[in-house]
Amino acid sequence: MMERRHWTYRAGAGLALAASALLGWMNLAVGIAGNEDNPVNLSFFVLIAAAAIGALAAEFRPRGLARTMACVAALQILLGAIVSTGPVAAHEPSGAIGLFALNGGFALLWLGSGALFAWSARSR
C-alpha cells in the first residue's frame, strides 16, 4: 500500500511539474495569446505561481495538492475563457477555438495531476 502511494504521488508531482514547464516554455517561446511580446501572456505565469504557492500552503500533502491542482485547472479555464473572448482571439480566424483547446488541454493536465494526488491521499 505504501509503494502505491509513493508511485501516485510522484506521478502527480511529475505531471504538475511537466505542465508548469510546458506552460512556461510555450509562453516564452511563442506566446499563448498572440506572439511572445503580448503582455497578456504574463497572466499565464500566474498559473505556475498559483500551483507553487498552493503546494507550499498545502505543505506538499497529497490531499491539499489535489485541491490545489483542481483550483489551478479552474483558473486555467477561466483565464482561457477571458483570453479567448478578447481582442487577441479576434485577430485570428481560429484563434478563439485554438486558445480554448490549448487551455482545455492544460486544464486536463492539472486535473490529471490532482487525480493522482487524490489517489495518493486515499492510499494512506
List, in order, residues 6 or more apart from 25 with CB less than 8 Å away.
none
Each residue's pLDDT, cut to its tens digit, for the chain (124 residues) gives: 444 568 999 999 999 999 999 999 998 888 887 777 778 888 899 999 999 999 999 999 999 999 999 999 999 999 988 887 776 555 555 577 888 889 999 999 999 999 999 999 998 6
pLDDT of residue 70: 98
Could you tell me if 2 and 124 are in contact, meaning their C-beta atoms sit under 8 angstroms apart?
no
Q: Looking at the 3D structure of the chain, how many domains does it have?
A: 1
Q: How many angstroms separate the CA atoms of 25 and 31, rounded?
A: 9
In the block, which residue shows the cell 504521488? 9
pLDDT of residue 66: 98
pLDDT of residue 30: 84
pLDDT of residue 90: 55
pLDDT of residue 3: 47
pLDDT of residue 38: 78
Q: How many angstroms separate the CA atoms of 76 and 105, rounded?
A: 10
pLDDT of residue 41: 85
With both helix axes pointing from N to C terminus, report the angle between 45-57 and 62-84 in degrees, rounded to the nearest 10: 160
pLDDT of residue 1: 43
Domain containing 33 equals 2-122
